[in-house]
Amino acid sequence: MTTTFSYNHLFAFTESVFRGIGCPEDDATLATEVLLSADLRGIDSHGVARLTGYVRLWEAGRINATPRVGIVHETPSTAVVDGDGGLGLVVAPKAMAIALEKARLVGTGWVSVKNSNHFGIAGYHAMKALAHDMIGIAMTNASPLVAPTNSLDRLLGTNPIAVAIPAGDQPDFVADFATTTAANGKLEIAQRKQKPLPEGWVQNADGSGSTDANAVKNGGALLPLGGETGSHKGYCLGSVVDIFSAVLSGANYGPWVPPFVAFLQPPADPVGQGLGHFFGAMRVDAFRPADEFKAHMDNWITTFRNAKAVPGQQVLVPGDPEREMAAVRLLDGIPLLDPVLKDLESVGAKFGLKL
């Protein structure tokens, strides 16, 4: 069963919760905008369903509600940002803003972040470049729930990559995907719905395939993108994200990444600080005139969207489903599954709030 709420209703509630944990007003508003962007775009696994997780991390003393986010090293086109243990929902947009400003000044900007936490959907951050006629890139490492190809050990996160590219008359190109067959949040949705998983998403603790939505909880692992014959490609992509986000910045990497769930303690022997992110911004006119580029992007998008489709199917351009979902949910509201609703009602009660 689901209950539908308007975007504005959920925004006010979520913002109040972030204020309740001590976030300054601007940070609470920013964190809410980032979090709800996932629900609007149909990525329910990373939206308000995660709000209770952030609150539990704060209660466990693992999130700083009033961080002093700042640059600790930089060149004209690069920077390392220390998130001071803050919400990734706040740290990441501030780091992306630094990348955008550097790109404005010198053509490109590259920012690696340490000492942060889960930053919501990667696509939100990459898309911040679009309004400036820039290409945006966003990556982050995550809780180690993924077994590299041929491994039983969980050494990587779902480690998403997002790339946003501006177009002219056509909707912008926005690719946002985990480097695993499925994001961990999709397992959580399957658990709430009490449904099995498709084959190829997870393995059991002994390495055998499984369709059990609780396999990872029971010692199994998520699998890299690519399936039986191509998982080495997803493994490589996830590794690149981990290195760019953490080895480059000084954050924790591999099995040392602190878990998102508060009931699991971070490793006792950290190799860095917090979670890591990586952001890039490239001014289009650093390569060719922006209008010329966007006209050709329109042609590219139109060509792919008009490709002859398999009978009964439709050829999509990255970003199409999310954009269409956002338009619907702004009008019709955002549906919440009953387990999510109960979680939100519980967390609201902690701060005297009613959903």
Q: Would you say residue 264 has pLDDT above 90?
A: no
Per-residue pLDDT, averaged over 125-132, amounts to: 98
Q: Would you say residue 263 has pLDDT above 90?
A: no
Tell me the pLDDT band of 185, cut-offs 50, 70 and 90: confident
Per-residue pLDDT, averaged over 17-35, amounts to: 98
Task: Please report the pLDDT score of residue 193 as a whole number.
Answer: 87
Q: SS3 for 185?
A: helix
The Cα 199–Cα 197 span in angstroms is 6
Per-residue pLDDT, averaged over 233-259, amounts to: 98
- Average of per-residue pLDDT values in the chain: 96
Q: Check: CB of residue 156 under 8 Å from CB of residue 254.
A: yes
Q: What is the pLDDT of residues 81-98, one digit of tens each?
A: 999 999 999 999 999 999
CA 244 to chain centre: 15
Which positions ≥6 away from 227 have C-beta within 8 Å?
181, 200
Q: Would you say residue 183 has pLDDT above 90?
A: no
Question: Exposure pattern of 249-280 as b/e (b: 16+ CB <10 Å)?
Answer: bbbbbbebbbbbebeeeeeeeeebbbbbbbbb
The answer to which of 134-138, 158-162, 185-189, 232-236 has the lowest mean pLDDT is 185-189
Alpha-carbon dihedral angle through residues 80, 19, 261, 141, given to the nearest 10 degrees? -20
Element (H, E) at 303: helix 290-305
Per-residue pLDDT, averaged over 232-261, amounts to: 97
**End-to-end CA distance of the chain, in Å?**
17
Per-residue pLDDT, averaged over 197-202, amounts to: 92
Tell me the pLDDT band of 104, cut-offs 50, 70 and 90: very high
Q: Give one DSSP letter per residue of 33-64, joined into a string.
A: HHHHHHHHTT-GGGSGGGHHHHHHHHHTT--B
Element (H, E) at 242: helix 227-242
The single residue listed with the structure tokens 């936490």 is: 117
Tell me the pLDDT band of 261, cut-offs 50, 70 and 90: confident
Task: Please report the pLDDT score of residue 187 as a whole number.
Answer: 86
Task: Please report the pLDDT score of residue 118 as a whole number.
Answer: 96
Conformational region of residue 42, where left means phi above 0, alpha means psi within -120 to 50, and beta covers everything else: left
CA–CA–CA angle 269, 275, 280 (5° rounding): 140
Q: What is the pLDDT of residues 305-346, one digit of tens each?
A: 999 999 999 999 999 999 999 999 999 999 999 999 999 999
Tell me the pLDDT band of 61, cut-offs 50, 70 and 90: very high
The Cα 17–Cα 87 span in angstroms is 13
Tell me the pLDDT band of 182, cut-offs 50, 70 and 90: confident
Which positions ≥6 away from 63 have C-beta within 8 Å?
21, 54, 57, 85, 86, 87, 117
Q: What is the pLDDT of residues 274-286, one digit of tens each?
A: 999 999 999 999 9
The single residue listed with the structure tokens 């994200």 is: 241
> Which residue in 278, 262, 69 sits closest to 160, CA to CA?
278
Per-residue pLDDT, averaged over 28-53, amounts to: 97
